[in-house]
Amino acid sequence: MTHKPGIVITGASGRMGQMLIKTVLESDKATLVGAVEREGHAWVGRDVGEMMGGQPVGVTVTADALEAFSKAQAVIDFTAPEATLAFSKLAAQARAVHVIGTTGMTDEQIAQLEPASRHAVIVRAGNMSLGVNLLVQLTKKVAAALDEDFDIEVIEAHHHHKVDAPSGTALMLGEAAAEGRGVKLADVRDSGRDGITGARKRGDIGFTAIRGGDIVGEHDVLFAAAGERIVLRHLATDRGIFARGALKAALWGQDKGPGQYDMVDVLGL
Ligand SMILES: NC(=O)C1=CN([C@@H]2O[C@H](COP(=O)(O)OP(=O)(O)OC[C@H]3O[C@@H](n4cnc5c(N)ncnc54)[C@H](O)[C@@H]3O)[C@@H](O)[C@H]2O)C=CC1
Ligand SMILES: O=C(O)C1=N[C@H](C(=O)O)C[C@H](O)C1
């Protein structure tokens, strides 16, 4: 690629925002052209390199997302559902590829991305890592091979700052297991057991969320039957895996037509 796409990072001061800025600055395939934060945030008006504790990089953090997006070929967005919905409209206006890592979006919010995807490329995934997207494929295969004698449980663990549960990844894995079984996740989902719940319902897919300390992200898919268990596991120890996947998606989207894509498309899995 001779031309280096310009990238804007939203939620610049966040855990993922800072990792994404570092990843883009270190890349020889893309250029950092903007960094966006909420109106009133202490980083707005300041150089993003300095705010991250390093040398100035010549990019001033702004709250004017449209102005930033209009100079970019891609927006990488790991923020919050309401912000992501607003950014999808602005990225489409700027005809910039919108890479969405934000989790916790409702089905209604996801449906609201559709108008933007008629004008621009949207790549959205609850997990941008190669390992998890491979695990999704494996989960689908294992679920398809086993019958309901095997109870399926998705168990996830994250840091204590995480605001949504189950995680976006856990939902991807649950969807994959349901698809493998030929059922709809909404019909078999069992989340948040507490109290006298009754015995486990055959065919249900259960979810458990653990929150604590600085856990980056851990996911198990458990297939439990009488006398044996299979556990498929992914352990994330470095947020760089998500940032590298997101940058790959931003570059991949440059020559694609408007529409909604995911990391399975990007990685060709
Ligand atoms: N898809 C994936 O691979 C991954 C997804 N995530 C998801 O990314 C999201 C962010 O995670 P973290 O970085 O840990 O959270 P965080 O809380 O550290 O960062 C979120 C950032 O977004 C900013 N923000 C919120 N509303 C905004 C607005 N309207 N305009 C501009 N900035 C705004 C906040 O100020 C904050 O800096 C979460 O939904 C998380 O689940 C996290 C890691 C990997
Ligand atoms: O909030 C996080 O940190 C993470 N969120 C994503 C999710 O909800 O699955 C991906 C990763 O597990 C980290």
Q: How many CB atoms lie within 10 A of CB 41?
A: 16
The residue behind tokens 């398809």 is: 144
Q: What angle do CA 245, 84, 158 make, to 5 degrees?
A: 55
37 lines ligand 1 (CB under 6 A): yes
Per-position DSSP letters for 128-155, written without gaps between them: --HHHHHHHHHHHHHHHHS-TTSEEEEE
pTM of the model: 0.98
pLDDT tens string 143-159: 999 999 999 999 999 99
169 lines ligand 2 (CB under 6 A): yes
Tell me, yes or no, if the two domains 6-124+239-267 and 130-236 fold the same way. no
pLDDT tens string 171-197: 999 999 999 999 999 999 999 899 999
Q: Which two tokens stand for residue 220?
A: 């198990």
The Cα–Cα gap between 122 and 99 comes to 6
Question: What sign for the dihedral angle of Cα 148, 105, 155, 230?
Answer: positive
Mutate to test the pocket of ligand 2, among 158, 175, 235, 262 (most ligand atoms within 8 A of CB): 158
User: What local confidence, expressed as pLDDT, does residue 31 receive?
Assistant: 98
For residue 18, report the phi and psi dihedrals to the nearest 5 degrees. Answer: -65, -40
User: What local confidence, expressed as pLDDT, does residue 3 receive?
Assistant: 84
User: What local confidence, expressed as pLDDT, does residue 49 receive?
Assistant: 98
Topology of domain 130-236 in CATH is Dihydrodipicolinate Reductase; domain 2 (3.30.360)
162 flagged as catalytic: yes
> Is 119 among the annotated ligand-binding positions?
no
Give the pLDDT band of residue 2 (cuts 50, 70, 90): low
User: What local confidence, expressed as pLDDT, does residue 250 receive?
Assistant: 98
Q: Which two tokens stand for residue 45?
A: 């008006």
Query: Among 89, 96, 85, 90, which Cα is nearest to 64's?
Result: 90
Question: Which atom from ligand 2 is nearest to the alpha carbon of 169?
Answer: 9
pLDDT tens string 57-107: 999 999 999 999 999 999 999 999 999 999 999 999 999 999 999 999 999
Topology of domain 6-124+239-267 in CATH is Rossmann fold (3.40.50)
> Is 246 among the annotated ligand-binding positions?
no
174 lines ligand 1 (CB under 6 A): no
pLDDT tens string 21-41: 999 999 999 999 999 999 999
The residue behind tokens 């352990």 is: 235
Q: Name 77's Cβ contacts closer than 8 Å, sequence gap at least 6.
A: 10, 11, 83, 84, 87, 91, 98, 99, 100, 101, 102
101 lines ligand 2 (CB under 6 A): no
pLDDT tens string 203-251: 999 999 999 999 999 999 999 999 999 999 999 999 999 999 999 999 9
The catalytic residue among 158, 219, 234, 248 is 158
Q: How many CB atoms lie within 10 A of CB 67?
A: 14
Q: Kindly list the domain boundaries of the chain, sorted by start residue.
A: 6-124+239-267, 130-236
User: By alpha-carbon position, which residue is closest to atom 10 of ligand 2?
Assistant: 127
Query: Among 125, 77, 124, 127, which Cα is nearest to 235's?
Result: 127
Give the pLDDT band of residue 53 (cuts 50, 70, 90): very high
User: What local confidence, expressed as pLDDT, does residue 246 receive?
Assistant: 98
